[in-house]
Amino acid sequence: MVNERELFIRTVVVDGTEESFKTALTRSILGVTFRKNKRYGKVFYQHRMHNVAVTQRLCDWIYEFLLAKTPLKNMSQYKIKTELVIKWNSTGRILGASDVRASIFLKMGDLSVKELKIYEEHEKVKIDFFYSTIDAASPVLREQLFEIIEAMGKENFDVTEYDFQDDNGKKMAELYSVKRVPTVVINDGKFENPDEKELRSRIELAFAPQVEANEANFALEPNTRVAAETLVSDIKSKFSN
């Protein structure tokens, strides 16, 4: 019908309990319905009881279906995210929903970190530049390299240049396994004739501030093993019948 309108809605990931699921989905449907239709004033507000009742029934149906048609009998052990397209008439009366998808997740654990400290000060970035005087790419790359270093502060870099053709250059090239020039070695990472974008990206990555974690810990969800074993048992039971 030409007077129908619709909008895609997605909830956040919530606990799989009936209360959490219905609260999240109800809040999403009714919240969006209000924001998108409040401009219709009294003609919209007269649909309030209908919209609440329809939303409640939609939530009931989805949750009941999950309990009845999946092997996940204890939904509280899982997490759920729901998305759907909600449909209204021209004045904001909910007509129904389509393209419903309820995704179920098993929480594995939590990472907890008391503090992440950022250190701007760090050791100089070590750069070794291998070049030759007979190829066209070397002077181009050298100019790009020193423009980047100049912009980021020469004091932050320790740069050494090696002529691929002289004895010392050949010795260092063998040490770094450099086979072609121009090649840039950044903190032991080797890059053969990188373009300016890659060169800048590699240097910025090496120059990035350091992060130090204080009291970092990952803890498995206590019920994960029980939930996984129950799920496997339920699935076997379902498909063996």
Residue 161 lies inside a defined structural domain of this protein: yes
- 132 and 48 co-located in one domain: no
Residue 142 lies in a domain: yes
Residue 132 inside a domain? The answer is yes
Identify which of 24, 28, 23 has the alpha carbon closest to the alpha carbon of residue 94: 28
Identify the pLDDT of residue 241. Answer: 58
Which residue reads 């120059």 in tokens? 207
CATH at 128: 3.40.30.10
For residues 85 and 163, membership in a common domain is answered with: no
User: Structurally, how many domains does the chain consist of?
Assistant: 2
Question: Which pLDDT score is estimated for 222?
Answer: 73
Q: What's the pLDDT score for residue 126?
A: 92
Interatomic CA distance for residues 168 and 173, integer angstroms: 8
Same-domain pairing of 94 and 184: no
Residues 95 and 43 in one domain: yes
Per-residue pLDDT, 98: 95
**Coil/strand/helix, residue 109:** strand
Same domain, 75 and 137: no
Whether 148 contacts 142, CB under 8 Å? no
What pTM did the predictor assign? 0.57
Q: Are 71 and 237 in contact (CB under 8 A)?
A: yes
Contact 24, 59 (CB under 8 A): no
99 and 133 inside one domain: no
Q: d(Cα 186, Cα 152) in Å, to the nearest integer?
A: 15
* Separation in Å, CA 73 to CA 2, 17, 60, 107, 238: 41, 11, 16, 16, 11
The set of residues, in sequence order, having a beta carbon less than 8 Å from that of 55 and lying 6+ positions away, is: 25, 26, 29, 30, 33, 94
Q: Is residue 201 part of a domain?
A: yes
How many Cβ atoms are within 10 Å of 28's Cβ, its own excluded? Answer: 19
Beta bridge partners of 216: 113
Which DSSP letter does residue 46 get?
A: T
DSSP 179-196: -SSSEEEETTEEEES--H
Identify the pLDDT of residue 120.
64
pLDDT at position 214 is: 87
Q: What is the pLDDT along the chain (241 residues), one digit of tens a residue?
A: 457 899 999 999 999 999 999 999 999 999 999 999 999 999 999 999 999 999 999 999 999 999 887 777 778 888 999 999 999 999 999 999 999 999 988 888 888 998 888 776 667 899 999 999 999 999 999 999 999 999 988 888 999 999 999 999 999 999 999 999 999 999 889 999 999 999 999 998 888 777 788 888 988 777 777 666 766 776 666 666 5
143 and 57 fall within a common domain: no
Cross-strand partners of 125: 157
| Count of positions (residues) in the chain | 241
CA distances from 184 to 66, 139, 174, 193, 195 (A): 57, 13, 14, 7, 11
Residues 10 and 93 in one domain: yes
- Residues 153 and 85 both lie in one domain: no
Within this chain, do residues 22 and 87 fall inside the same structural domain, yes or no? yes
Token pair of 158 as six digits: 């320790």
In a domain, 225, yes or no: no
User: Does 240 map to a domain?
Assistant: no
* Nearest residue to 157 (alpha-carbon basis) of 201, 120, 121, 126: 126
Whether residue 163 is contained in a domain is answered as yes
Q: Domain of 80?
A: 5-105
Question: Domain end: 79, 105, 131, which one?
Answer: 105
- Quick check: is 213 in a domain? no
Q: Which of 50, 76, 105 is the last residue of a domain?
A: 105
